Amino acid sequence: MLSSQLNPTFIFGIVLVYGLGQGFAHSFFKVVTDYYWKDVQKVQPSVVQLYIGLYYIPWIMKPIWGLLTDVFPIKGYKRRPYFVIAGVLGVAAALMVALIGNLPAAVALGCLIGVSAGLAIADVTIDACIARNSIEIRSLAPDMQSLCGFCSSSGALIGYSTSGFLVHHLGAQGALILLAVPFFFFTVLGFVIHEMRSTGLQYEKQKAMENLGVAIKGMYKTIKFPQVWKPSLYMYLSLALSFSTHEGQFYWYTNPKAGPAFSQEFVGVIYAIGALASIVGVLIYHKTLKNIPFRNLLFCAQILYGSSGMLDLIFILRWNLALGIPDYFFVIMEECVSRIISKIRWIPMIVLSTKLCPLGIEGTFFALLMCIDSLGSLTSKWGGGIVLHTLHVTRTDFTNLWLVIFIRNILRFATLGLIFLVPRADQSDALIPPDILTKNSAVHVNPDDEGLELVPKHEKSEV
């Protein structure tokens, strides 16, 4: 349906970036690097969380990538060259950490941040296309996000299901070589995705800085609207307050004395089944939830999110064994429940983000909103690392891990007090005025280009 109404190469780009990139590469990267820091570099869980927080830096820089794609085209193209750049960067970084042995921790961290940067640049480029199409055809916005979520979950299913097996047989460092594959296809995408080449005046080099200034002013003007900054603040706080305990739980899962001592293959199976559950979450949203107003849906989703976190607490305290539920069955059940709820909670926030983007700087502004989300994730990782360190959760001591998870769950419920920041609007409604940026500027359309760009008021008469 989407291919019949939008360009098929755009749909192919979504499948490639979200499926092979955000889905497969992200999930594979997550599991393999967990084992890489644990077994190769032998780092404490609290330190790993601080390292992983640095992976989010390229994602926090998404507004910069968005500005580059919106106002600094290369050879007349806004999007295509940036897919190529993302691919080359990712291939080089992945091969370096995979093929060079005995890397210092700082160098390895730099390479892994480079992999994350390649994913972020490709992501912001396809997101700019998605945001534009969501603005032009508002009724398709939920469907496009459903496709993104489905591709991401399907790719994650493949990534998680193969990661444990490959870590077991190739080692954590050797398995990282497969990360180069998605980035190779990003490079190919840069040559095949449809984009009209522009030769208009607005793309001349002397206009670049003027366009940059207009875009920055447009972002500043838009973010000041209450219907924009309030939901943006909610999205940040909902992520930041639920701090991450992943590394503490991962070390406990694989510990032969304190935890259940899950094998590498079974850890991959857990995450793979969770990815399958994410697909179920996408289908539930698409079939039954996409017409529910934002505030009602996110309120209910947050209640379920806080409740599902209690399953982690039950597992860490081993109450499941007292109830006669085996570890392997309980952890799979817990993973499925949390993944479904997380997806139902996440997709509406992404749809909401697309609704807040003004036409003309949609790529840049959507990148700004995703930067806010990434900043929330960074705060979550670092906050979790600090709490793990403060409560003395280490590679071998998990005495206070239950307390860390309990505090996290309380904060998830506390987030419900911020729901007033979310608009009551339906998911198909326009949330910002169509002339939000045209009071002092006009939207200029170049007939040779698909993109739109803001021009100063004094040029309006010439347009």
What pLDDT, on the 0 to 100 scale, is given for residue 215? 72
What pLDDT, on the 0 to 100 scale, is given for residue 363? 66
Q: Which of 404, 290, 405, 370 is nearest to 120 (CA)?
A: 370
**Mean pLDDT in the chain?**
82
- pLDDT band for position 438 (50/70/90)? low
Higher pLDDT, 142 or 23: 23
pLDDT-above-90 percentage for the chain: 23
What pLDDT, on the 0 to 100 scale, is given for residue 462? 36
- pLDDT band for position 30 (50/70/90)? confident
pLDDT of 431 above 80: no
Q: Which of 28-42, 235-249, 402-416 has the highest mean pLDDT?
A: 402-416
Give the residue-averaged pLDDT of 184-191: 90
- pLDDT band for position 452 (50/70/90)? very low
Residues 331-354: pLDDT tens digits? 999 999 998 999 898 888 888 887
What pLDDT, on the 0 to 100 scale, is given for residue 243? 87
Residues 254-272: pLDDT tens digits? 888 888 988 888 888 888 8
Structure-block tokens of residue 343: 């997806």
What pLDDT, on the 0 to 100 scale, is given for residue 172? 85
Give the residue-averaged pLDDT of 427-443: 60
What pLDDT, on the 0 to 100 scale, is given for residue 303? 94
Length of the chain: 463
Residues 362-417: pLDDT tens digits? 667 777 887 888 888 889 988 998 999 999 988 888 999 999 999 999 999 999 99
The set of residues, in sequence order, having a beta carbon less than 8 Å from that of 314 and lying 6+ positions away, is 320, 330
Cβ neighbours around 92 below 10 Å, total:
15
Unique residue bearing structure tokens 């969380």: 49
Question: Based on the structure, what is the number of domains in the chain?
Answer: 1
pLDDT of 446 above 70: no
Q: Which of 313, 310, 76 is nearest to 197 (CA)?
A: 76
What pLDDT, on the 0 to 100 scale, is given for residue 61? 86
What pLDDT, on the 0 to 100 scale, is given for residue 115? 92
- CATH number of domain containing 330: 1.20.1250.20
pLDDT of 429 above 80: no
Pair type for strands 452-456 and 441-445: antiparallel
What pLDDT, on the 0 to 100 scale, is given for residue 200? 56
The Cα 407–Cα 178 span in angstroms is 37
What pLDDT, on the 0 to 100 scale, is given for residue 201? 42
Chain mean position to CA 356: 18
- pLDDT band for position 299 (50/70/90)? very high
First and final CA of the chain: distance in angstroms? Answer: 35
pTM score: 0.70
The Cα 44–Cα 247 span in angstroms is 9
The Cα 1–Cα 461 span in angstroms is 40
Q: Strand (E) positions, 236-287? A: none
pLDDT of 461 above 80: no
The 10 Å CB-count burial string (b at 16+, else e) for 224-238 is eeeebeebbebbbbb
Higher pLDDT, 162 or 432: 162
The answer to whether 63 touches 160, Cβ cutoff 8 Å, is no
What pLDDT, on the 0 to 100 scale, is given for residue 136? 73
The Cα 385–Cα 383 span in angstroms is 5
Tell me how many degrees the CA angle 246-157-276 measures, rounded to the nearest 5. 90
Q: Which domain holds residue 316?
A: 2-459
- pLDDT band for position 209 (50/70/90)? low
Higher pLDDT, 438 or 263: 263
Give the residue-averaged pLDDT of 177-189: 90
What pLDDT, on the 0 to 100 scale, is given for residue 449? 40
pLDDT of 451 above 70: no
